[in-house]
Structure formats: C-alpha cells, structure tokens
Amino acid sequence: MNVMEKRELPDYKVELRESEDGVRTVTGYAVKWNALSQKLGYWRRFREQFTKGAFSNALVTFDQRALWSHDTNQVLGRTKNGTLRLTEDDIGLRFEIDLPNSPMGDNAYESIKRGDVDGVSFGFRQKVEEWDENDPDNIIRTIKEAELFEISPTGFPAYEETEVAVRSQQDPYKAYSDDKLRRKKLALKTLC
C-alpha cells in the first residue's frame, strides 16, 4: 500500500527574516540528503534517508503547500502563487515561506521567533525506494523518488520519545516485507 507519510524533523531549524517592506520569511531545510533518520516504524525497525533529487519531479508537477503543523485549514504559503519556494541544493530540500499578513501569519511568526516552534515536517508518498536488509538490526530505507505534498513548521514530533517519526496508516517496512513474502510464495507456487 502506498500511503502518504509524514516526517517530523525538529533538528532542521527554521529561521526568520523580515524585509524592509514588512515581508516576513521563514527559511530552512525540510529534508537533508542522505541523513539517516532515527529508527522508524511501529517496531522501530528501520532508518530512512532521501537521496539528492528525490523530489525533482514533484517540484515541477505538484502544487505544494506550507501548512501550520499539518493543518490544511492553515495554509502559510503555496508554490503555485510563489509564497512558498522549494529548491533542491547540495544540502537538501530548502524552503522559503512568505508568511501571510494575517493573524495566522502573525501567530506563526511570533511562535517561530520565540523558539516555541523550531521544527519542520513534511508529507510525502514514496515512488521509488530501496531497502537494505543486510543487517537486521540496522535496516535502511532509501527514498530515491517521492511525491511531496506539504511542509509544515511544527512544535513537536509525532512521538515525544523520538525526533523523527512515522505517522501513516501502515508501517512502510511491514508493507515492503509483506509484499516481498507474497511475491516469494507466488514464485514458489509457479515453480510447483
């Protein structure tokens, strides 16, 4: 099953700047290339990383949004109108959000400025992935291509005991393992 997943990354600090004309911009990285996550999944069975260029296709084909803590009712910016700018560089997926001149924008600005909100999260769906199961205690999922739907400044991770966590309907490693087992059984049936 290919479901949307969310990652919370409080270590990827957001920064604020205000121009002379009053535009307040939030900047930072939503993803850093080849940086391993903490253990993810229901049983904390795998770590994850994104390769450089994982979002290249998504950035030209999708209209991404910046949401306040994943709340679809609180849109802070959008690529379609240029208030959210996403670029891939040598470090990762960089973002710039021009905050709206509204109470929502004011609240976001003040919360980030005070340091109450200093994390970044993103919602994605993997398209191309590889699993390295050579070490059962250190399984690595590498996302090579993904659809990106949103990024979100957020105040805390999905699970307090970790800084990076899965919040999806199904554990991606379990789905991968189940599919691999199903294919193996099907191949054995075909041989018999």
pLDDT in tens, the chain (192 residues): 466 565 555 445 667 777 777 788 888 888 889 988 878 777 778 888 999 999 999 999 999 999 998 899 999 999 999 999 999 999 899 999 999 999 999 999 898 888 888 778 888 999 999 999 999 889 999 999 999 999 988 875 332 322 222 334 456 777 777 777 777 777 777 776
Q: How far apart are the first and last CA of the chain?
A: 28
The pTM assigned to this predicted structure is 0.76
Q: What is the predicted pLDDT for the residue at 170?
A: 56
Query: What span, in angstroms and rounded, lies between the C-alpha atoms of 97 and 60?
Result: 18
Output the pLDDT for position 155. 76
What pLDDT does residue 57 have? 96
pLDDT score of 167? 34
Contacts of 84 (CB under 8 A, 6+ apart): 64, 65, 66, 76, 77, 78, 95, 96, 97, 98, 151
**CA gap 32, 89 in Å, rounded:** 9
Q: What was the pLDDT predicted at 105?
A: 93
